[in-house]
Structure 1
């Protein structure tokens, strides 16, 4: 018994038209979804950024962008500047370490947050954790020197096994503080 197949031959033009229509419909769906969700995403990003800055400068009431400075924010309380939150970047053991640093107008470190890094888990990534982080609180620019001597409490004690990461984070924070002091005149 022979089975008869009903085959239809499609021309190249018909296949191209079907693919074109499918692409147009898909594109319209993607475009419509983006149009609807993009404002919500932007608003959510602003909220997350404000929360991150609030975690760095706890007593600030508001954050405003700094004219002429990319990704710089001024933290204010009672209408007065209490700090600047600025981006910092430095080369670590395994690539760039990107941070957000909170600095007073006279260059003292308030806090920092590592936004991205590829440092070794359990070693270099400890630069984003206590007790390493707390060493920076209220440090002046001249005290931002990495040392391996635990008795030297005036400087930054390197993380055991992660000296390169310790130096990279310290360098990025120091450069951020220097930029703030240059911008404010240290006042």
Structure 2
């Protein structure tokens, strides 16, 4: 019995110390991670709606994959557009898609942040070559394989469809809520 008790106690002590250290690391890094995520989201909003000088969150419950809606305001405080973030499911998980719309409901910009897609394939959804196709588009969109005008990323059609789905969901929310006013 002594042969089992001593290693078990040592293992328990090592496990307790490791758990305590992990707790300390988590508490120390939580705030810097939150700040970094907020900064990344602000940069994505600025890239999606460059005409806006500031952003004001829209409060409410959002349906589907929409996680955030922000009004884009100019220097005078007038609404110049909206930035909507959706998280449609891709091949490797959610594909956070931030879309800017101007007063004409045309896309001013789009950003894909922290996708959990396959490196070298689905992760290419964050590249300007893919995202640039959305600029100035309005109405329902689809990838070329589905009869649309958005050129899907080679070998990453699921991710391409996810981004298009997020854009369409954002537009549908904006249309259902009165557009940009």
* Alignment TM-score > 0.5, same fold: yes
How far has the Cα of 1:185 moved from its partner? 4.2
SS at match of 2:56: strand
Per-residue deviation, residues 49-84 of structure 1 (Å, max 9, x unmatched): 111211222232222322114322222222222222
- Structure 2: stretches of 5+ with no match in the other structure: none
The count of aligned residue pairs is 170
Per-residue deviation, residues 138-166 of structure 1 (Å, max 9, x unmatched): 22216x46669xxxxxx835359679566
What is the root-mean-square deviation of aligned Cα atoms in Å? 3.5
Q: Using a 3 Å threshold, how does the CA distance of structure 1 residues 119 and 108 change in structure 2: closer, same or farther? A: farther
SS at match of 1:184: coil
Q: Using a 3 Å threshold, how does the CA distance of structure 1 residues 145 and 25 change in structure 2: closer, same or farther? A: closer
Match of 2:41 in 1: 49
TM-score by length of structure 1 reads 0.68
User: Could you say which structure has the larger radius of gyration?
Assistant: 1
- Structure 1: stretches of 5+ with no match in the other structure: 1-8, 149-154
Alignment of 1:1-187 (within 5 A): 10-68=2-60, 69=62, 70-78=67-75, 79-88=77-86, 98=95, 99-115=97-113, 116=115, 118=117, 128-130=126-128, 132-141=130-139, 144=141, 156=149, 158=151, 164=157, 169-185=163-179, 187=181
Per-residue deviation, residues 104-126 of structure 1 (Å, max 9, x unmatched): 3542111112332647957x776
Contact 1:158/1:167 (8 A) holds in 2: no
